[in-house]
Amino acid sequence: MEEFLTAHFWLAVGQIIMIDILLGGDNAVVIALACRQLPAHLRLKGILWGTAGAIVLRVILIAFALTLLQVPYLKLVGAALLLWIGVKLLAPQDEDGHSNIQGSDKLWAAVKTVIVADLVMSIDNVIAIAGAATGAGGSHQLPLVIFGLLVSIPIIIWGSQLVLKLMDRFPLIITVGGMLLGWIAGTMAHSDPAVREWLPQTTAWNYGLGAAGALAVFLVGMLLKRRAPQPA
């Protein structure tokens, strides 16, 4: 029980919520598109059932990810993917990725669309949340993941539009989020079983690699942003 009262636990909870908000914008769009053709009285049911099914599948995926991250070198692969996800968050992106999401006027068809689409799109969330949970240490990683996801559900469903407006108004939020993913990547790489033998397992090294990951995401993301063609 004491592990649930530590600063590490609540820091990881905060990271999971922020990750889900930053990377959950796509999921909010998918929910809206999949349920747009439902009758008005069924839309809330479609959103709730689709989100619930997607969250259950995501918890199962993260449980597998937490187990796999104990295998040597897989945390290094996960760290590399997180760096890429962080850079992608900062760099300009195409907005056409949702054009193939088909709506339905049948409740369970819409729910199925939400779950399948979320499953396909959730690899970034799964890796990032698993990385944040491993950073908390201890033996309560899966309860931590479930708690973080449960807290973030109402934020994504009812607060996604507000969050998106805040991101448009304060781009610094996105920059901080991308750097957070870089930080998690650095600390994840430091705890990989394959590098424990030749890297000192100290707090200074852990924080140093986290800072290096955050800085790398920031620099590469800003470089790509500058090179991107500016809208007329």
Number of domains, the chain: 1
Average pLDDT of the segment spanning 210-217:
94
Question: DSSP 3-state assignment of 232?
Answer: coil
Q: Amino acid letter at 24?
A: G
Q: Are the C-beta atoms of 46 and 110 separated by less than 8 Å? A: yes
The predicted structure's pLDDT at residue 216:
95
Q: Which two tokens stand for residue 103?
A: 């709506």
In a domain, 132, yes or no: yes
Helix axes 74-90, 123-136, angle to 10 degrees: 120
In a domain, 231, yes or no: no
In a domain, 20, yes or no: yes
In a domain, 177, yes or no: yes
Q: Give tens-digit pLDDT for 142-179.
A: 777 777 777 767 766 665 556 656 767 887 888 888 88
CA dist 230 → 86, 174, 221, 224, 226 (Å): 21, 19, 15, 12, 9
Q: Which two tokens stand for residue 227?
A: 């090179």
Query: Per DSSP, which regions of 12-157 are E strands?
Result: none
More confident residue, 202 or 156: 202
Q: Give tens-digit pLDDT for 31-76.
A: 666 777 778 788 778 777 877 887 788 788 888 887 877 788 888 8
207 lies in which domain range?
2-226
* Residue 100 pLDDT > 60: no
In a domain, 165, yes or no: yes
Instruction: Of 58-67, 94-103, 195-204, 214-223, give the range with the top mean pLDDT.
Output: 214-223
Average pLDDT of the segment spanning 194-200:
82
Helix axes 7-23, 141-169, angle to 10 degrees: 50
In a domain, 56, yes or no: yes
In a domain, 111, yes or no: yes
Which residues have C-beta within 8 Å of that of residue 191, sequence separation ≥ 6? Answer: 75, 134, 135, 201, 206
CA dist 182 → 10, 118, 178, 187 (Å): 19, 23, 6, 9
CA angle 83, 9, 151 (to 5 degrees): 80
Which residues have C-beta within 8 Å of that of residue 142, sequence separation ≥ 6? Answer: 59, 62, 63, 66, 133
Average pLDDT of the segment spanning 79-83:
87
In a domain, 123, yes or no: yes
Q: How would residue 95 be classed by pLDDT, with cut points 50, 70 and 90?
A: very low
Average pLDDT of the segment spanning 69-90:
84
* Residue 26 pLDDT > 70: no
Distance CA 92, CA 221 (A): 9
Q: Which two tokens stand for residue 128?
A: 């990032």
Distance CA 217, CA 181 (A): 8
